[in-house]
Structure 1
């Protein structure tokens, strides 16, 4: 593990920068993203990827199975004056999230999934009709 991954605040900030500089411009090539866009990150960790979306006025939800990462996400968002909802759970157990999102972000997650086809099928259930 690299030292930057041990310093959670530094890692949060690096992910936020990467998301703002690369993820969001790429996504904007294909769909409008902004105020009111509902964004879910599966495996959100400390939530750094979601910070720029929140700053743009998106409604962000981060889900991660690691309770410690979710605690950090809440703390880092609060320190940044950002809004976001963070849940420690297996996202696919949260039935209330079905058909809620315009966009799903999975950064450094899919490579850890054994059955990728089933994972994508489940992700589709979380998206709105045109998500």
Structure 2
């Protein structure tokens, strides 16, 4: 499972094209802010969304498995003048959360769970933590992205300070992929430091997610493909899912 140790410190620069503001607006449109509304940002990473939600008026808790990510998230919240509680936990082992009004698992974080049982356990624990009529928002990779886009590697990226070569390999399990990324990061002296990260992701048919939500107890399940931008129906890369307890 990815821990994002050294990667955490360049994560934001590589994710600068993610429309976090659109994601936040999607959540707020169905779960408007009210006094004392508690929101948990699961897989919060460096806290970009957590801070946006806190500024909007939610009482935010951020959860992530990576201590390095949470260190940056804590610094970001302090710099932005918002009070957020951060917890280092795996999403499939959530503990100590209750009376949650809104749960968010953003930017394909749930695809880092290695087994379907872990997905089920995560959704079950989220359901249990929510108040009646509490809402869950998350997104997942499509089969098209996992089976067609990702295997078409390697991918490369370069800017003034960071470059990477991203190799992908199809996993043994259906709709899974191994990501092996070699980074070159320029330090203050102008030299480039090399390090490597290995990640694994797995997804499932959309119906598997929606059926599992129903099994856990969720209702009013809605699927969108347009939270970020319009997607071609035959080339959908990401599904956005909203469900209510």
Relative to the length of structure 1, the TM-score reads 0.78
Does the 8 Å CA contact 2:41/2:104 hold for their aligned counterparts? yes
Tell me which stretches of 4 or more aligned residues in structure 1 moved more than 6 Å: none
* Counterparts of 2:94 and 2:32, CA distance in 1: 29
Does the 8 Å CA contact 1:45/1:70 hold for their aligned counterparts? yes
Which region of structure 1 is more displaced relative to structure 2, 107-116 or 36-45?
A: 107-116
Relative to the length of structure 2, the TM-score reads 0.45
Q: CA deviation at 1:70?
A: 0.9
Q: 1:18 aligns to what? A: 19
Q: 2:100 aligns to what? A: 101
DSSP-derived class of the 1:128 partner = strand
Structure 1 residues 121, 93: closer, same or farther in 2, change over 3 A?
Answer: closer
Q: CA deviation at 1:101?
A: 0.9
DSSP-derived class of the 1:69 partner = helix
* Counterparts of 1:83 and 1:71, CA distance in 2: 14
Structure 1 residues 71, 6: closer, same or farther in 2, change over 3 A?
Answer: closer
* Counterparts of 1:74 and 1:88, CA distance in 2: 12
Does the 8 Å CA contact 2:31/2:102 hold for their aligned counterparts? no
* Counterparts of 1:11 and 1:77, CA distance in 2: 20
- Say whether 1:7 aligns with 2:6: no
Structural mapping, 1:1-131, within 5 Å: 7-8=10-11, 10=13, 14=16, 18-20=19-21, 22-91=22-91, 92-94=93-95, 96-98=96-98, 100-107=99-106, 108-113=108-113, 114-115=115-116, 116-131=119-134
Q: What is the count of residue pairs matched by the alignment?
A: 123
Higher relative contact order (CA 8 A, sep 6+): 1
- Going by fraction, where is helix more abundant, 1 or 2? 1
Which region of structure 1 is more displaced relative to structure 2, 75-84 or 31-40?
A: 31-40
Does the 8 Å CA contact 1:18/1:49 hold for their aligned counterparts? no
Structure 1 residues 68, 57: closer, same or farther in 2, change over 3 A?
Answer: same
DSSP-derived class of the 1:102 partner = strand
* Counterparts of 1:93 and 1:23, CA distance in 2: 23
- Going by fraction, where is strand more abundant, 1 or 2? 2
CA deviation string 1:73-129 (max 9, x = no partner): 1111111112211111235342x213x211111112111122223321121012111
Structure 1 residues 36, 19: closer, same or farther in 2, change over 3 A?
Answer: farther
* Counterparts of 2:63 and 2:71, CA distance in 1: 11
Unaligned runs of 5+ in 1: none
